[in-house]
């Protein structure tokens, strides 16, 4: 299938949090990100790469997912995406000059994914920071993926696949669809799981470079009394070793080490995996009750 336009990567996740200072401290002192910028009374921007931000924290009354930003490969791909989205009949909103200045992005647009209500953003030319990101607590390689729990999850996955060019890497039958924004090679940059209780954030993932980052994190989290809600374990779909824990609002964060990578062309077919606990954790673990429960999806009228 030829791509309607080319992505570079999952660029950033914007979260609504009830106390920006508290969650900023969590992301710097527990997760290991670096603070780039904090707007008084407004968002804080954190990074785990040379980008200006990979996480943006916005003050809000309730915790949740504000939007997800994907970086496209070039300005040419932005223009292709604009034409493509308009052809789909989606209401495309250009990001205004003032907000682009705050986000340190030179171009960007937003639209609403129709089945989940998620605001999706495509952008190019985010400010590249002069100083490299220097990992401290964990050797974070990148923002890895974001997962949503959605009532119409199959319809959402079909929309992302057929209209936005996401490739499907694997299914857990009737439960989860793992997808990658091409030609980004990682097994999933986005996944959608079945929800029977409204649409919400499932988790945000950071990929680490060493299995020791997972083991050391278990001790760091326990010492700081941060709830670990699943893992350590090994995911069958991507083959990664994982650990999930909760941010101060109860939203779920994942570290994972190792992940299958796909070539741009001639890649394998998606597998249909049995909906069984071992398909999620080959080591036989089970999630704790707080796992992947918190994080409402911000809707347009709340924005
Ligand atoms: C339990 C969740 C939905 C899950 C399952 C599998 C993988 C993986 O294969 O990497 C994940 O990253 C997950 O978050
Ligand atoms: Fe994950």
* Nearest ligand to the CA atom of 237: 1
Protein residues whose CB sits closer than 6 Å to any atom of ligand 1: 147, 176, 193, 205, 235, 237-238, 240, 254, 256, 280
User: In whole angstroms, how far apart are CA 55 and each of 158, 168, 209, 273?
Assistant: 27, 25, 19, 31
Assess contact for 221 and 30: CB atoms under 8 A: yes
In ligand 1, which atom is closest to the CA atom of 244?
Answer: 14
User: Which residue, by CA, sits nearest to atom 10 of ligand 1?
Assistant: 238
Ligand 1, atom nearest to 237 Cα = 9
Would you state the pLDDT for residue 300? Answer: 57
* Distance (Å) from CA 111 to ligand 2 centroid: 24
Give the pLDDT of residue 302: 41
Question: Which of 170, 190, 191, 276 most suits a substitution to test ligand 1, by most atoms within 8 Å of the C-beta?
Answer: 191
- Residue 178 Cα, ligand 1 centroid: separation in angstroms? 8
Query: DSSP of 194-260, one letter per residue?
Result: E-SS--EEEEEEEEES-HHHHHHHHHHHHHTTPPEEEEEEE-TTT--EEEEEE-TTS-EEEEEE---
Tell me what pLDDT residue 2 has.
84
| Class in CATH terms, 140-297 | alpha beta
Which residues partner with 244 through β-bridges? 230, 254
- ipTM for the predicted complex comes to 0.99
- The architecture that CATH gives domain 7-123 is Roll (3.10)
Report the pLDDT value the prediction gives residue 54, as an integer from 0 to 100. 98
Write down the H helix ranges in 88-238. Answer: 97-103, 153-164, 211-223
Whole-number Å distance, alpha carbon 237 to ligand 1 midpoint, is 7
- Alpha carbon of 33 to ligand 1 centroid (Å): 22
Nearest CA to ligand 1 atom 5: 280
For the chain, residues with pLDDT lower than 50 are: 302-303
pLDDT at position 95 is 98
Q: What pLDDT score does 303 carry?
A: 41
- From-to residues of CATH 3.10.180.10 in the chain: 7-123, 140-297
Among the bound ligands, the one closest to the CA of 175: 1
């Amino acid at each position: 299938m030829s791509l309607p336009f080319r992505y570079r990567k999952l660029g950033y996740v914007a979260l609504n949090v009830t106390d920006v200072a508290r969650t900023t401290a969590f992301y710097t002192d527990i997760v290991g990100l670096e603070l780039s910028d904090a707007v008084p009374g407004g968002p804080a921007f954190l990074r785990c790469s040379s980008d200006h931000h990979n996480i943006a924290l916005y003050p809000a009354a309730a915790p949740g997912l504000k939007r997800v930003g994907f970086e496209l490969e070039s300005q040419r791909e932005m223009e292709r995406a604009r034409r493509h989205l308009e052809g789909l009949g989606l209401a495309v909103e250009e990001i205004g000059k003032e907000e682009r200045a705050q986000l340190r992005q030179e171009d960007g647009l937003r639209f609403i994914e129709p089945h989940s209500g998620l605001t999706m953003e495509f952008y190019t030319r985010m400010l590249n920071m002069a100083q490299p990101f220097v990992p401290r607590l964990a050797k974070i390689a990148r923002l890895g993926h974001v997962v949503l729990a959605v009532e119409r999850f199959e319809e959402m996955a079909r929309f992302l696949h057929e209209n936005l060019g996401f490739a499907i890497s694997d299914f857990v039958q009737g439960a989860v669809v793992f997808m990658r924004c091409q030609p980004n090679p990682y097994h999933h940059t986005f996944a959608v799981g079945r929800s029977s209780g409204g649409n919400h954030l499932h988790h945000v993932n950071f990929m680490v470079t060493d299995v020791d980052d997972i083991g050391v994190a278990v001790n760091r989290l326990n010492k700081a009394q941060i709830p670990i809600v699943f893992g350590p374990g090994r995911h069958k779909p991507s083959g990664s070793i994982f650990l999930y824990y909760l941010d101060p609002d109860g939203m779920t964060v994942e570290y994972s080490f190792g992940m299958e990578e796909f070539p741009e062309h001639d890649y394998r077919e998606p597998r249909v995996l049995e909906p069984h606990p071992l398909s999620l954790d080959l080591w036989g673990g089970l999630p704790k009750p707080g796992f992947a429960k918190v994080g409402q999806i911000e809707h347009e009228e709340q924005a």
